[in-house]
Amino acid sequence: MAAAAGAWLRGCAKLRRHMPAHLAPWRVCPRVFRSSKSELRPNLASDGLVCAPLQMFTEEEAMLKDMVAKFAQERVAPFVQKMDENAKMEDSIVQGLFEQGLMSIELGEEYGGTGASFFSIILAVEELAKVDPAVSLVCELQNTLTNKLFTTYGTEEQKRTYLPRVSKDTLGSFCLSEAGSGSDAFSLKTRAEKKGDYYIINGSKMWISLAEDAGVFFVMANTDPSLGYRGITCFIVDRNTEGLHVGKKEDKLGIRACSTCPVTFDNVKVPESSILGQVGQGYKYAIGMLNTGRIGIAAQMLGLAQGCFDRTVPYTKERVQFGKSIFDFQGMQHQIAQVATQLEAARLLTYNAARLAEAGRPAIKEASMAKFFTAEVATLTTSKCIEWMGGVGFTRNYPIEKYYRDCKIGTIYEGTSNIQLSTIAKFLAQEY
Angstrom distance (rounded) from CA 224 to CA 367: 31
| Centroid of chain to Cα 353 | 11
How many angstroms separate the Cα of 406 from the Cα of each of 14, 123, 134? 58, 19, 8
Backbone angles phi, psi at 193, to 5 degrees: -100, 130
Alpha helices in 100-204 (DSSP H): 118-131, 133-141, 147-153, 156-168
| Active-site residue, 414 included | yes
How many angstroms separate the Cα of 260 from the Cα of each of 176, 250, 270? 13, 6, 24
Q: Are 94 and 412 in contact (CB under 8 A)?
A: no
Q: Are 365 and 316 in contact (CB under 8 A)?
A: no
Which residues are 195's β-sheet partners?
198
Which one of 140, 178, 366, 414 is the catalytic residue? 414
Alpha helices in 390-416 (DSSP H): 400-407
Which residues are 276's β-sheet partners?
234
- Listed in sequence order, the residues at least 6 apart from 12 whose beta carbon sits closer than 8 Å to its beta carbon are none
| Centroid of chain to Cα 86 | 25
Catalytic amino acids? 414
